[in-house]
Amino acid sequence: MTGIKEHLEKCIIPFWKGLIDQENGGFFGYVSHDLVLDKRAPKSIIAHARYLYTFSLWYQLFKDESLRMYMDHSYRFLKEAFYDQKQGGYIWMVDYQGHPINTTKHVYAQSFVIYALSEYGIAISDQRIVHEAFDLFQLVDQHAYRDHCHYHEQFREDWTPLKNGLLAVHGLNLPYTTNTLLHLLEAYTNLYRAHQDDVLKDRILGLLKGFKDRLYHEDEKLFYMYFDEDRRTKHLGQSYGHDIETCWLIDRTCDILNIEDPYIRRMTRDVAEYVYQRAMTSRGLLSEVIHGEQIEDRIWWIQAEAMVGFMNHYQKTNDEKYLKAVQDIYQFILNELVDHREGSEWFWGIDDKGNTLNDHGIAEAWKAPYHNGRALVELIKRGYEK
């Protein structure tokens, strides 16, 4: 079995390096399932923040100065194409030349920019970059914060509130998503590593309280996915990928802030166990249950987060079944999700019969190096070996 470090160096990193757009800035926005590169595809803030974050991780792991160019290139394009010089914040989408085509500002996107800037600042030891991340935190707090687990999510360019539509899934258009709260927690925690601030810490603690008191369904051992307009939780099913990702990110936050909360530790332990029981198969982790229907697609990012989540749980419990789960998922990835065609990376996913999901590209707005690129770094840091 190919080792994870070798897989990073020979498959994942070369693919994403190869998408750099030297002429127009940033990275090319789309590679089809058939490996056709669309040099004129739009470029998204989500993907480009994730490029900056992940190249910053790789730079720190490999101590490879050649990766510095990709970090710096990512940062320049974020500032030149997505950043609103007049009113602050980062817009949603630009064309292939960096001209705005969707100036909506979404808190989910701002969270990934905070995450990326803080990691980049740490990687190159530049507090000016860290302060840019902190300034964006303050801007989000000013416009979006409602209470400890409710942030208005979508805005016009001038920060006038809009109905939340950019993260609409499952045919729903609900105003508050757990997904956004999770990535705020992730981003704020990363920023706190580099810049300890009392208000920032208070917001992190508030988000943890929200996951404990409002988002956790203690009977079913899962996290609610949405709030409605009246800030009531909506129980529509379970997202296995988000739940296992939430577990290890919450544990990470507690470690970084030195929080000892037995309830939180028990909560993440129980959710991880229930994800294992409900969704772990001999061929990776299932996707989700929505409105009572089990979705059995195996999606690339869910496998990546499951490896980290189960490795984290193994380290907490010393139960070998979770280590075996990591090993089995990684083997499944190598066997069925890695695209072995020259110049490719991972497929988006496969269905329950093993057919690739051809409607999605190998690279696109929502498929960047973040999930699998981070997961393998996490496994290396945690001492996992093949």
Q: Under 8 Å CB-to-CB from 324, ≥6 apart: which residues?
A: none
Q: Residue 91 has what pLDDT?
A: 98
At 51, phi and psi to the nearest 5?
A: -60, -50
Residue 339 has pLDDT above 80, yes or no: yes
State the average pLDDT over residues 60-75: 97
For the chain, what percent of residues have pLDDT higher than 70? 98
| Cα 299–Cα 18–Cα 117 angle in degrees, nearest 5 | 75
Query: Which DSSP letter does residue 67 get?
Result: G
Report the mean per-residue pLDDT for the chain.
95
Q: Residue 170 has what pLDDT?
A: 63
- Neighbour tally for 381: CB within 10 Å: 11
Contacts made by residues 287-293, CB under 8 angstroms, sequence distance 24+: 287/239, 287/240, 287/241, 287/349, 288/237, 288/238, 288/239, 288/240, 288/241, 289/237, 289/238, 289/240, 290/170, 290/236, 290/237, 291/170, 291/236, 291/237, 292/237, 293/237
In this predicted model, what pLDDT tens digit does every residue of 169-221 receive, in sequence order? Answer: 666 677 788 999 999 999 999 999 999 999 999 999 999 999 999 999 999 99
Q: Which whole-number Å values give the CA distances from 99 to 24, 80, 96, in the listed order?
A: 10, 10, 7
Q: Residue 35 has what pLDDT?
A: 98
Q: Residue 334 has what pLDDT?
A: 97
For the segment(s) 4-381, the CATH number from 3.30.390.50, 1.50.10.10, 3.30.420.40, 1.10.10.60 is: 1.50.10.10
In this predicted model, what pLDDT tens digit does every residue of 243-267 receive, in sequence order? Answer: 999 999 999 999 999 999 999 999 9
Tokens coding 175: 């105003």
Say whether pTM exceeds 0.75: yes
Q: Residue 73 has what pLDDT?
A: 98
Q: Token match 């056709």: residue? A: 36
State the average pLDDT over residues 360-373: 97
Q: Residue 168 has what pLDDT?
A: 67
Query: Which DSSP letter does residue 247 get?
Result: H
Residue 149 has pLDDT above 80, yes or no: yes
- Neighbour tally for 230: CB within 10 Å: 6
Q: Residue 291 has what pLDDT?
A: 84
| CA atoms of 173 and 163, how far apart (whole Å) | 8
Would you say the C-alpha torsion 375, 380, 385, 386 has a positive or negative sign? positive
Residue 289 has pLDDT above 70, yes or no: yes
Q: Residue 132 has what pLDDT?
A: 98
| CA atoms of 341 and 363, how far apart (whole Å) | 14
- CA neighbours within 13 Å on the CB side: how many for 64? 14
Q: Which residue has the higher pLDDT, 184 or 226?
A: 184
In this predicted model, what pLDDT tens digit does every residue of 102-148 receive, in sequence order? Answer: 999 999 999 999 999 999 999 999 999 999 999 999 999 999 999 99
Q: Where are the domains of the chain?
A: 4-381
Query: Which DSSP letter does residue 22 get?
Result: T
Q: Residue 175 has what pLDDT?
A: 78
Residue 101 has pLDDT above 60, yes or no: yes
Q: Residue 230 has what pLDDT?
A: 72
Q: Residue 92 has what pLDDT?
A: 98
Q: Under 8 Å CB-to-CB from 142, ≥6 apart: which residues?
A: none
Q: Residue 346 has what pLDDT?
A: 98
